[in-house]
Structure 1
């Protein structure tokens, strides 16, 4: 049985809608096209299909408070 690989980065947010372009510590030119993602309330998180960042809704089901 294969173990689930943790996301490379977890970002806690306060809104259900987020945007991701892969930038952060790197230049936006080196990221990926901006995508708009929606966190589903029944999971409490969404992952970017390009860079695998996980956006977790603060106080939601997936929020561990870490």
Structure 2
């Protein structure tokens, strides 16, 4: 089974990704060495953009794409062969 990409909701169309995300150090620490080279991405008319390195998805806040991420998740779907679904 394929894992869903990590989703980050943003207010701007231009975003940067370095793959490190929330694994930054605290005050006085340099950024984490994990991740990938920083890339700049532009969200287009789809309302989202995927990072080519780490598959993180950036979704523009208030866009139709943002509403779609909150509607259905894999756990909401019935299992194959579930008799309760007609």
TM-score under structure 1 normalisation? 0.80
CA RMSD in angstroms comes to: 2.0
**Gapped regions of structure 1 (runs ≥ 5):** none
Number of residue pairs matched by the alignment: 62
Q: Report the structure number with the largest CA radius of gyration.
A: 2
Structure 2: unaligned runs, 5 residues or longer: 25-31, 71-86
Hey, which of these two has a bigger chunk of helix by percent? Answer: 2
* Structure-2-length-normalised TM-score: 0.63
Q: Which structure has the highest strand share of the two?
A: 1
Identify the structure with bigger relative contact order (alpha carbons < 8 Å, sequence gap 6+).
Answer: 1
